[in-house]
Every structure is written in C-alpha cells, then in structure tokens.
Structure 1
Amino acid sequence: MDRIKKRKLLSKTLSYYVAFGILLLLIALPFYYFYYQRYYIHEIDEYLLGQKDEVCKKGLNTLRVDEIPLWNKFNIDKKILPDDGQTETSRFVTSECYDEHEKENISCRILYSRIKIEGKDYILSIHLSIYEAKKIIQFGTVLHLIFFSILLIGFVIITHLLYKKLWRPFYQTLSEIRRFNIRNSEIPVFHANNVREFSQLNKAVEILIANSVQAYKIQKEFTENASHEMQTPLAVFQSKLDIMLQQQDLSESQMQIIQSLYEATSRLTRMNKNLLLLAKIDNLQFLDTQDLNVVEILDNLLPFLLEQAEANHITTTIKTGNKSLMIQANRTLLESLVNNLITNAIKHNAPNGNLSVELEQNKLVVCNTGTGKSLNRKMLFHRFGQMNEKVKGSGLGLAIVKQICVQYGWDIAYDYENGMHRFSVVFG
C-alpha cells in the first residue's frame, strides 16, 4: 500500500488560501489593466471630440482651401487631410506617431472626422499621445501586484503566528497523549483552555483513557487469576491420569479412554499456556528487554527441536551464515517465536519431509515441505486458524509469532514455492 504523504493542518489550509489568492490575482490584474485602459481611452475620445468641436467653431468656418497648408504648419497635433472616402462622421484609431520631443514613435489616439471647407469634403485629424497614460496604467498594475503580494504574504504570516497560538492547547493535549502509558495507570492531566472545542476534546480523551485503563486493569487481573487458578487443576488432573495409566488392572478399552483424556488434557494445557502468553503480550507484560544473540538462542533450542524432527523422520538443514545477530528483545518472547516457527514446521511437515532453518544477515527463514498448495494467508496468523485438520494443535502458534513481531516492529512473511512453505522474520 502506498503511503499517504501527511501534512500539517496549517499547511493544507494555507495552500487553499494561497491558491485562492493567486487565482484572484490572476483574474484581478488583467481585469484592472484592461478596464482602466478602456476607461482612459474613452475619456481621451471624449476629449478629442471636444477638441474637434472647438476647432470647428473657432477657425474652420472662415478657413479657405488655399490656407490649409499654412494651417497645418502651425497646428502640430491637428491636420486637415484630403477626403479618403471615409463613411463615418468620426473615426478613432490607435496608432504610432512620431514625437518631436522624444524623437521616436509613440502610441497615439487619433480622431478622423469629416468636415467641409468651401463646400468640399476634408478629413480633420486630431491626435493625442497616450504613451504617458499607458505608463501610468502599467505602473498602477505593478503597484496592485505588489499590494496583493504583500497582502497575501502578510496573511500567511499572520495566520501562521495565530495558528501557533490558537492550536497550542491541541498540541499540549497531543503531547500528553503521547506520554501516556497504560501500564502506569495514570490518567494525564490536560491544560485548561478557553476554546470550547479543545475543552470538549480533552474531556472526551480523559473519558476514553479512563475507560481504557479500567479495561486494562480488568484484563490484567483476569490474566493473573487465570494463570494461577487454571494451571493448578489442569496439573492435578494430568497427574491423576498419570497415576491411572500406571495401574496394572486396566482393560484395553479403559487404557484407550484414559490415553485419550491424557492427550486432550495435554492439548488443553498447551492451549491455556499459549492463551495466557498471548494475553500477556497484548497487555505488554514482557517489557524487560536485553541484547540477545539470535544464533545463541537457536543453538539452545535446536537440539530439542531436532529430536522431534528426527522422531518424525524429517531431514533437517541448518544454515547460520550470520554468526552473531544481536537484537533488543525479551528472551522469553524470542525463544517462543523461534520455538513456535520450528515446531509448526515439524507438525505440518509431510512424511519423510524436509526442514531447513536459515539465518541470513538480519532474517530468520524456516522452510518445510507440506501440503501441495499455498496456505490461506487471510487465516494464517489468526488465532485458532487451523491450516491442517489432520494435525492436532492449539492453532495459536503462528498467532503468537505474529503478535511478537507486531510488538517489536519485525516483519513476518509467508511464501510457497517449489513445494516448500517458507516463513521469514526480518528483525528490524
């Protein structure tokens, strides 16, 4: 499963605000630029029309055709041009004009208007530079951009500072929860705050922790009581069966009944021990750890386990490539893990099958022959998940192995290849 990248709530919130701010900026700036440009052009057109009316009132009524060149010479921004067939009364054009002062072409707004001089059609041209107006609009756009940017940055900074202050009670609660240890049975004390939601959160967490501590105490007491109360009658019952088996006057049928009861009692005893072990692991009662050498643990357990394999006519192969694999763990749990893995491989092996135990770097691998198909991975590590109905067992061995791996963060995997069931534990 792909791991989801996690971010702080502030980062996610600010990302939306920043995205909205940038979107608003991208929409507002072009709108501002084109709106003011259009507004300014409209005002210039009104001004040019006013200039045309003024020119027509003051000078064109008495102007003669032969005076047009002289009139054009003394009017820099106004010209009388021959009629070019223009159909509109007034026409506005934005074009480039040569500026005598700037000595370069600049943007101008030009009005071409139809007039009559001595009954003949002419075109009155009036132009006005819009170069400065464009510069003002561009400068205003840049100012708006700077203003929006400062506003957005300021908003991010202020939000970040307020976030630290407003969310401080939440992080204090989170810190207390992280320090909480159910084994100490101490309910954490949360800091008082004036935020209703955080106060409700603290109250809910207090109730949840109190219930968890109470349930842990009850379960722990049950485990301790069961350990003392159940083991004794089982041991007495088994010892009585041992005595009965030693009697000489038993019939064959009585012997079979007692032997069956003895096997059932032995299985019940093993199941009880395994259930108690699982309960203790769940209750985190194996907290003491030490530096352990996995090779040394194997060397101590293998002689007894190999005797079981030989009794079942199983060929064993032992490979310990890593002579010293040191890990931090509880000795009882590590021994239980190794014992359950190898015992499971012996019990569920095929007649005259093979068993191999390998230690590769930081990995323990146990392989065995068995059924001619892969095991059900969904039920493999479940409690009472019997994989082979022909083999009598508690169905708790692999569940114990899984729980131990979970407690220490080790990885356990199962594979089936070339007729071999392969269990591997990678020590983290």
Structure 2
Amino acid sequence: MSGEHNWNKAVKTLITKEGNTHCADCRSPDPEWASSTLGVFLCVNCSGIHRNLSEISKVKSLTMDNWDEEQYKFLDSHGNRAAKEMYEANVPPYYYRPTHADCHVLKEQWIHSKYKHKQFVKESNFCDISNGVKVGNLLKRGRDNGQYLHRKFILSDLDGTLKYFTKADAKEPKALIKVDSLNATFQPEKMKQVNGLQITYVKDNKTRNLFVYHSDGQEIVRWFNAIRSAQFHYMKLAFPTATNKEVLICLTRHFLKEGYMEKTGPKPGDSFKKRWFTLDNRRLMYFKDPLDAFAKGEVFIGYSEDGYTASADLVPSTYGNCTWKYGISIGTPDRIYIFTCESECERESWLNVFQKVMSQPMTLRDYTVEAIFRRRS
C-alpha cells in the first residue's frame, strides 16, 4: 500500500479491531483521535488531555490529519489492548477508573497517572494510603458562612474513619465519620470549584454534607481514591467471604440525579417551594440551597412491589402558588408526595430515574434504612 491517502484510510480501519472501538482512557465509543507515540485510540476529550502531555503523547485526528506508513504500523502493532496490559497492569481494585461521563479532573489525573507517572505498570508499588493513614489539609466550606477554610483531615485505613479538625493542633476532631457510611463524589459544577469533592454521611439519622476542595487536582483525586481504599479494606475485613466485585459496589457512587423541583407539604393548601433535590441511591434529599450542609427533608424511594409508585401528575387546582406545572406524584406506604418540574423534559428525566430505582428489589440494608425513615415520619 502506498500514497498518503491510502495510509489515512488504513489507519481509520484500525478502530474496528478489538479493544480499539472505545477510548483507551474513558471508554467513550467511536474514538476519532489517536496517539502516534503511545499507540492508543482516544475520544476528543481525552485527546485534549494528551495534548498537554506533548513530551509523552503526540495526538492526531483520524479524519483530519495525515498519517504515514511508519505511524500506521506502530498503531497496528500496539493499540488499546496492548496499552492496557502495560499501563494498567497494577491498578488497585478500589481505584476509580473514570468514564466519559465523569468530570475533567478525574479523567485528567487518570491519564497522568497512567502515562506520565506510570503508577500502574507491573513494577510499580503504588499506594494511596501510606502505612494505612492519609493526613493533609483540605479547604472546607463553612456550614453557615460559606467560606472555604483550611481544615486538617485524617483518613485511617486501620480503623475505617475519616476525621477533620478545625485547628491543626486540636486534640479532638470536629467530626468522626465511619468510612462505611460515607459517600464521596466530585461536584465541580455545583460547587464552582474545579477540584471540588462532596462528602456525604449520615449523622443522627440525617444526611450531612461536607464540601471540600484542593488547589491541586492530583491531590484531591488522591483523597478520593484513598477514601475508596479505606472503604475497600474495611469492607473486606467486615465481609471476608465477599468478592471484590461485591465490595466495589458498596464504595463511593455518583448521585443518580440532582436538580431543582418545587415541593409542597401534605395539606392541599400548603404552598410550593423551590428546592434542590439529590437522589443518592434510595434517599431523595431536598435542600434550600445546593450547598447546604443539612437536608431540610428526605424521602425514601422503595421497591414498587412494596407499595412505592412514581407517575406524572396534573397539579390539582387546590394546590396554590406553584410556578411549574409539570407534576410528579411519588407514592409511599405512608404518604403521597407532590413535586413539580420546570419542563416536561425534566419531569421525564426524574420519572425515569425514580421508576428505575423502584424496579430494583431492596437489599437487607435498604429495608433497615426504610424502617428508620418510617419511624421518623
């Protein structure tokens, strides 16, 4: 085969080979870029991150750039499967592998860790927690004033706790959180901090939010994976017969959905109020502000065969002052909840996620949480 045009055409056929059909780093389908020095196929977003690693990765478009014979042969002899065997040979089971839906900082640090720092090659001894403990300062948002101030955090893999202190020399922590009860998720859009992390846990049967960030993206991702490491090892000790797959399901998770809806009280004359809603597993929490420390209330979303329903609803005329007309009715064994959405599209989005949750049978842990909710109501 000869000629510039033919080599370009040949390169494009390589994305049909097994392993090359998705981005090597975030698994987005149909990659349109490739690294001519690493031999991997990439989506447009990950190619942008690679471009900032120009000393390691030279990226080119599969459709807009020209390829030569040497570059074609290199890509053909390497590819995503070979790169994974080399650069992901020693990824800890708890380490979070970002997808195309994740925020930039997670994907960026994953790519840096793989190719720049080579943390996961066979010879590496990568560890998120040194001697079972991680200590450092994070900027934490104040519950009342909204200011971000330096706070000392200590994460212990040994006893499965996360503590934070208001002063570096404080003897007693402001909070002690068991890692098996907390969730950590990146929240750059809501927090308006590129490296923002939301830590959620239950205190006195109420959900508590901590909003933290670090100026260094690598450091905040280290904290995130250190939390997952502590959770993983805690769960493996607590449930020694559980498989890695079963334990990984219990680690940090994305919220199923967040956004504004209007909510009314249980009486027909109660007014509607705009609230920020967060659906975390089966907990539907609502807040006056997206960055509130405590939820104003919570609704348990159970299993459809146990009497839980979700349906589109016309807001009765007896309900006053609602500005959004696209209603949702959530039925529980104890009460009917009425919410309204700003658009029909947003209502369909919420309904889909509610119905998906309700279609899944509950675990023993879910029934324990449901019992707590019903005692509170």
Measured against the shorter chain, the TM-score band is under 0.3
Larger Rg: 1
TM-score, normalised via structure 1 length:
0.23
More helix as a share of residues? 1
